[in-house]
Amino acid sequence: MPYFIGGVITPQQRLLVATPERFRDYFNIEIRVNHEVERIDRENKRVDVRNRQSGARFTRPYDALVLSPGARPIVPEVPGVDLPGVFSLRQLEDAGDIYRWLEGKKVLRAVVVGGGYIGLEMTENLVRRGISTVLLEAADQLMLSLDPEMTAPIHAALSAHDVVVRLNSPLRAIEETAGGLQVTAGEGEKFPCQIVILATGVRPEVTLAAEAGLEIGELGGIRVDEQMRTTRDPAIWAVGDAVEVPDVVTGGFTRVPLAGPASRQARVAAEAICGRPSRFRGVQGTAGVAVFELVIAQTGANEKTLKRRNIPYTAGYTHSWDHATYYPGAELMTIKLLFAPDSGRVLGAQAVGGRGVDKCIDVISAFIQKGGTVYDLEEAELCYAPQFGSARDPVNIAGFVAGNILRKDVLPAYWSEWNAVWSDQPPLLIDVRTPGEHTAGAPPGAVNIPLGEIRGRLYELPKDREIWVYCNVGQRSYYASRILSQRGFRVRNLSGGYKSWLARKAVDRGSD
């Protein structure tokens, strides 16, 4: 829908993938729009229905009932959210309302509240229309489903298109002014605008289910079994954004309001109703979003979730090209891979870059669903040709890096640890890049010993002090760490190298 608002998808009717007439003609299914089910009579297997246009009421019996009420937007409880020009985006009608407002008004400035998927897509499409846009996020990072350091490229992409981003800036109030609207956020900062988009998430629509006595889980969704049957009534199923389902990685319940899982849930429910033993495997939150030229995708658990659930993990960062670099147009992508430190089971992955990001996450997602390990990623045989692949695909490289860690060929270090309060002296930080690279930019305190010189300069290095090595992306420093460890030095390789340091630095600066 944001891309219809931005003029990328036209006309609006293209967003309609089916119509009541098509369901009738193709499948002999009766679709009644503008009809609301007001009550479920579980004892008699009936539903009370109201025609929202005429007001007429009637009841319909059922043998099997499927609930798919979706979710409703979360609207902040602040003054002014009901003013003209303030919109949420959930339904196709909402997209039409926003489009007509933009077409009918002189909109020069916009404020988007919420830095998740919809907030980012709306920001991009408002900018496409030539509208100066401010993006407000109440938390200390954009895209809470990502780990903080992976959001640095998003900030860079937004900044390149003159988007003003404010973190730690919850919405305080919206008021009408002579020029349209004024938004107050954070510690009182004010933003004049002519439209406000509220993209602050969704909440499961479970009113009907709760009133019928169906079980509602701790996350606010309808509880179902592996066949999408509600836990308290074998004649009622539920699917989509309103349900809680198992998390493939953590084993707990979760809510993932995405079209892909909803479609699979609907198929499982339909087959179960027809007597087939289908089951829903669970979700892992595989999703992607584009922010101008940047692509972000993820699958499985992030580091924050694993910490919160006390699930042991190790992380690896890689920066790889989407295809062979000798073929023109290769684009760099960053992958963060999370995996179990004992078995190597893949727990999650996040990728940021350009072309090929979605492909890599799709591959890793399939391995996660089947309980795959980093060793499986090492051995994955993926499509190769110079124009769209490499002999060592980014997925393979992520597996190699993780496998090296698990085999103890290398001990990893992370930039998030660098600012720790050291009980002893801090590690010696060695930059194994070329002098030119080091001069162009390096972390404070780094000593430059290029990889090609390191064997001849071992006498400069202490054996009574830990050494951390880094290069640009982690490959040369891996070689250096092997050289040093084989000569008795205590050495760790900084995962992701200088590029990951830049991302960490940007995040630390942005959250100040």
Q: What positions carry a catalytic annotation?
A: 471
d(CA 389, CA 363): 14
Cα-Cα-Cα-Cα torsion 367, 373, 374, 379, nearest 10 degrees, comes to -70
Q: Using an 8 Å Cβ cutoff, are 470 and 504 in contact? A: no
d(CA 47, CA 59): 5
DSSP class of residue 485 equals H
Phi, psi for 105 (deg, rounded to 5): -115, 160
Number of residues in the chain: 512
Phi, psi for 421 (deg, rounded to 5): -85, 110
**Count of CB atoms within 10 A of residue 171's CB?**
23
Q: Per-residue DSSP letters for 318-354?
A: EEEESS-TTSTT--EEEEEEEE-TTT-BEEEEEEEES
Diameter of the chain measured on Cα atoms:
90
Please name the residue that has the structure tokens 């926003």. Answer: 98
Q: Using an 8 Å Cβ cutoff, are 471 and 451 in contact? A: yes
